[in-house]
C-alpha cells in the first residue's frame, strides 16, 4: 500500500510541461539575441540572469515555476488531545513519476495556546483566523480560542473565551460569517459566539438541555450530547445532531443578531445516536441531508424542503448500514465523520474500532503490518438522493475520528485518533476512489482534527 502517488503529476499535466518547454526555448532565443548585440555587453552578468524584458512577456508564475524549486506546498492544521495545534507542511513534487521524489509532511510550528484538550478546528480564510475548541475534560469550562494565521503557517493567539464544558464542533454563520454555533457534547448545550474580524470573542447565547430519563443505550444516552453544528446550504438554519437525545436539533439562524431560535427537531430512530451530518444542494428545490449515526452505524438520507416562511421539512429517503450492506461488526464499532466531496457527487464516511484492514507499516524499518479502520465512499444520485457504494479503503490506521478534503477534492487528510497520525491519501476526483498514501506524519497524542489551508 505504501506506493508513491502516480497521480500527483496531474497537478502539472502534460500540457503545462509542453508550455514550460516552449517558454524556455523562447527565453533562450531572447537571451542569445541579447548576448550577440555588441552594444549590450555593458550589462552585468547578474542583470542577464533575470532580464527585465522577461516581465510582461511570460506570466510571473511561469517564470517562478522554471526559476524556483520543483515542488508545491500546502499547509494543514492538526489538533490533538495532547494539548497541541500543529502546522504541517505538505510538499508535493511537481512530477513524482519523472523525478522519483517523494511527498513530505512535516511539522513547521506548534502551539499549546488552545488549551489542554483541543477537539475541533475551523478556518476563517476571509479574516485569516483559526478557531480552536478546547473540550475541557477536567472542567469546569471548555474554551474557544482565536488565532491569527501568519504567512509562514504559524498561528498567534488573539483571544480566548471560557464556554460551557465539552465543545466539539463549530458552524460559522451570519452575514459576515462571524457567528460561531457550537455543539457541546458533555455540556449538553448549544451556544453562539460572536467572533470579530480582529478575533475578539463575545458570548451571544447558551441553550442547555436535559433528558427525562436515559435513552435505549443508557451508557451513552444518559444525557443530551450535541455532537456537531451544521449550517444549511442557504445559511438559514443550524442543525445539531444530538447523540444522547436521538434528535437532530434545528435552529433558525438570525444572520444579523446571531441568535438561534429552536424549531421542530428531526426525530430519529431510538438508540441510533446521531453524530454528524452533511448537506447536498443540487438546486434550491432539490436538497438532501445525510446523517451518520454512531450507535446504530447507519447512514440516513433525507430530502429537505423549504416551505412557507422557509420552514424546514425532512422526508426520509433511506436508512442503510454505514458499509452499505448488513454485516457483522465488532460490538465497539462506531461511525464517525461524514463528508461530501467539493463537486457534490460523492459522500465519504469513516468507521472506527473495526480493524477491518491490515496495511503495510508506515515505518519502513518495521515489516509488521498495522490494523486500519475504513473510509467508505458512495456516489450520490443527484436526482433521487440515493447512494451507491463505490469503495472501502483503509484509512491509514485506527480510529479515523475526522477527515477533510482539499479544495479540488484530490487529497484526503485523515486524523487518526487511535494512532497519533495524520495520513494524506490521493483521491481520483472523477471516480471518487481513494488511491495511494501520499504522505504521513506522527502527531503526539490523540489526533482530533486535520484541515487544509489553501490560499
Which whole number is the average pLDDT over 233-256? 98
Residue 324, SS3 per DSSP: coil
Distances (CA, A) of 228 to 93, 166, 167, 182: 36, 11, 9, 8
Write b or e for each residue in 322-351: b if 16 or more Cβ atoms lie within 10 A of its Cβ, otherwise e.
bbbeeeebeeebbbbbbbbbeebbbbbbbb
pLDDT tens-digit series, residues 38-91? 333 233 223 322 222 222 222 333 333 333 334 567 999 999 999 999 999 999
Q: Which of 29, 81, 69 is nearest to 51 (CA)?
A: 29
Q: What percent of the chain has pLDDT over 70?
A: 83
The whole-chain average pLDDT of the chain stands at 87
C-alpha cell of 151?
A: 504567512
User: Of all helices (H) and strands (E), which one includes residue 13?
Assistant: helix 13-35
H or E segment to which residue 281 belongs: strand 274-283
Q: What pLDDT, on the 0 to 100 scale, is given for residue 268?
A: 98
Instruction: Give the least confident one: 8-22, 71-85, 236-250.
Output: 8-22
Banded model confidence at residue 316, pLDDT cuts 50, 70, 90:
very high
Locus of grid cell 438520507? 301
The pTM assigned to this predicted structure is: 0.84
Q: Is residue 14's pLDDT more than 80?
A: no
Beta bridge partners of 275: none
Place of cell 451508557: 219
Q: Which three cell numbers stand for residue 223?
A: 444525557
Encode pLDDT of 376-427 as tens digits. 999 999 999 999 999 999 999 999 999 999 999 999 999 999 999 999 999 9
Amino acid at each position: 500500500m505504501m506506493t508513491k502517488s502516480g497521480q500527483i503529476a496531474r497537478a502539472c499535466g502534460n500540457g503545462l510541461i509542453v508550455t514550460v518547454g516552449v517558454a524556455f526555448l523562447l527565453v533562450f532565443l531572447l537571451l542569445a539575441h541579447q548576448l550577440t548585440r555588441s552594444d549590450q555587453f555593458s550589462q552585468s552578468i547578474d542583470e542577464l540572469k533575470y532580464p527585465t524584458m522577461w516581465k510582461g512577456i511570460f506570466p510571473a508564475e511561469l517564470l517562478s515555476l522554471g526559476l524556483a524549486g520543483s515542488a508545491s506546498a500546502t499547509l494543514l492544521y492538526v489538533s490533538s488531545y495532547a494539548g497541541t495545534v500543529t502546522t504541517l507542511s505538505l510538499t508535493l513534487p511537481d512530477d513524482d513519476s519523472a523525478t522519483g521524489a517523494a511527498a513530505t509532511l512535516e511539522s513547521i510550528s506548534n502551539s499549546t495556546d488552545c488549551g489542554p484538550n483541543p477537539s475541533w478546528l475551523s478556518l476563517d480564510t476571509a479574516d485569516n483566523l483559526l478557531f480552536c475548541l478546547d473540550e475541557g475534560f477536567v472542567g469546569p469550562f471548555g474554551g474557544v480560542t482565536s488565532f491569527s494565521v501568519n504567512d509562514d503557517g504559524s498561528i498567534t493567539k488573539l483571544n480566548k473565551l471560557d464556554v460551557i464544558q465539552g465543545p466539539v464542533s463549530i458552524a460559522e454563520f451570519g452575514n459576515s460569517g462571524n457567528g460561531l454555533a457550537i455543539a457541546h457534547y458533555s455540556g449538553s448545550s448549544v451556544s453562539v459566539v460572536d467572533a470579530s474580524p480582529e478575533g475578539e470573542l463575545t458570548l451571544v447565547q447558551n441553550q442547555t438541555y436535559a433528558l427525562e430519563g436515559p435513552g435505549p443505550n443508557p451508557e451513552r444516552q444518559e444525557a443530551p450530547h450535541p455532537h456537531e453544528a451544521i449550517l444549511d446550504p442557504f445559511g438559514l438554519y443550524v442543525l445539531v445532531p444530538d447523540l444522547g437525545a436521538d434528535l437532530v436539533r434545528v435552529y433558525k439562524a438570525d444572520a444579523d443578531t446571531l441568535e438561534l431560535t429552536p424549531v421542530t427537531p428531526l426525530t430519529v430512530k431510538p438508540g441510533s445516536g446521531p453524530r454528524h451530518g452533511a448537506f447536498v444542494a443540487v438546486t434550491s428545490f432539490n436538497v438532501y441531508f445525510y446523517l451518520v449515526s454512531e450507535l446504530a452505524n447507519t447512514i440516513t438520507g433525507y430530502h429537505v424542503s423549504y416551505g412557507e416562511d422557509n420552514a424546514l421539512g425532512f422526508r426520509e429517503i433511506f436508512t442503510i448500514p454505514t458499509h452499505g450492506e448488513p454485516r457483522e461488526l465488532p460490538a465497539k464499532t462506531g461511525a464517525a465523520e461524514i463528508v461530501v466531496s467539493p463537486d457534490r457527487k460523492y459522500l465519504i464516511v469513516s468507521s472506527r474500532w473495526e480493524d477491518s484492514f491490515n496495511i503495510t507499516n508506515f515505518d519502513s524499518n518495521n515489516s509488521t503490518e498495522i490494523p486500519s479502520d475504513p473510509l467508505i465512499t458512495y456516489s450520490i444520485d443527484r436526482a433521487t438522493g440515493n447512494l451507491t457504494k463505490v469503495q472501502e479503503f483503509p484509512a491509514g490506521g485506527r480510529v479515523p475520528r475526522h477527515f477533510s478534503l482539499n479544495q479540488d477534492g484530490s487529497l484526503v487528510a485523515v486524523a487518526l485518533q487511535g494512532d497519533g497520525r495524520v495520513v494524506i491519501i490521493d483521491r481520483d476526483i472523477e471516480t471518487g476512489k481513494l488511491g495511494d498514501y501520499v504522505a504521513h506524519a506522527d502527531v503526539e497524542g490523540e489526533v482530533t482534527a486535520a484541515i487544509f489551508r489553501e490560499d
